[in-house]
Amino acid sequence: MRRIGVVTSGADCPGLNAAIRAVARKSFDLGYEVIGVRNGWHGLIHDDVFVMQKSHVSGILYLGGSILGSGKDDPFSSETDFASFQTNFKKYQLTSIVVIGGFTSLRIASRLNDAGYATVGIPATIDNDVMGTEQTIGFDTAANFVCESLDRLHSTASSHHRVMVVEVMGGGSGWIALLGGLGGGADYVVTPEYRSKFDDILHHIENRKSSGKTFSIIVITDTATVDGLPLGECPKTGVGAYLASEIEKRSGIDTRFTVLGHLQRGGTPTFFDRTLATRYGYEAVELLKRGDVGKMVAVKGGLIVPADMDQATRERRKPEAKLFEYARLFY
């Protein structure tokens, strides 16, 4: 009898429950037992797991978050934690683990597989920064939320003739800012991949004003830097607040900021994320069935394919240069 452990690790994102549901249902269909691991790796380090039934995954497709809980524990953080992980893996007679998470979680999964614990991965993070796949679970929902937020901010920015600075998440990459900003009609996008110049941002705002555009919307990733501004030394309010303050100070234009923060990670997953997570979950169990471990499921050319997990977690995926060309066409 195969017993598959299911872990959601790291930061949460919309679509995790859809993936859990698909892993469980496909496993049940094959006659496998499924062990739910609570709160990320914490569950296997501190003996907090349960046997999953069909009832556990009924009615969860549309729910945000994770019914298993998540966390940032790492079984490799100490010899004691790794020993506890080994003990519980053996205690519950697990034959393999499906790890649902982002870059760091999949890196841990790859190391566990190398240590002899059969593991497959499902890439799930709003940051969309995992190599080897064209899209991760949660990114579509987060980018759609940014797009919708910009739609709403356009009306108030234009009514009051303001500059609006919108700070978004990104985990060190500019995927959310770039595509959320492109879809939402941002007037300028600042990401970690390119060091924007503060003078260029001001110049663009002034050009819009002189051409009759009485408002501007600037989107900035929370880890971005701007030449001429020491954003690394900004106050706890974040880079968005600091950038907005400096724009108003130097331009004299009324400027406000909005931090979308954890709103990007919550809520109901989009159709795309639900179906992507379902396909990922199904194919992850297929990998286990074939014994094709040390892999993660990935999207390439619209198809779900296996990708080497070690290769995929050596560096974070950055947006293609062409996407920046598309964005710059509008500013």
The answer to whether 136 and 296 are in contact (CB under 8 A) is: no
- The full length of the chain comes to 331
Strand 303-308 and strand 163-168: pairing? unpaired
Three-class SS of 26-60: HHHHCCCEEEEECCCCHHHHCCCEEECCHHHHCCC
Please state the separation of Cα 171 from the chain's center in Å: 8
Tell me the backbone φ, ψ of residue 190, rounded to 5 degrees. -115, 120
The answer to whether 29 and 16 are in contact (CB under 8 A) is: no
The answer to whether 13 and 7 are in contact (CB under 8 A) is: no
Residue among 12, 81, 127, 187 flagged as catalytic: 127
The answer to whether 248 and 155 are in contact (CB under 8 A) is: no
Strand 188-190 and strand 216-221: pairing? parallel
Single-letter code of the amino acid located at 287: L
- Residue 6's nearest CA partner among 56, 79, 76 is 56
Please state the separation of Cα 299 from the chain's center in Å: 15
- Residue 202's nearest CA partner among 255, 251, 257 is 251
127 carries an active-site annotation: yes
The residues that are catalytic are 127
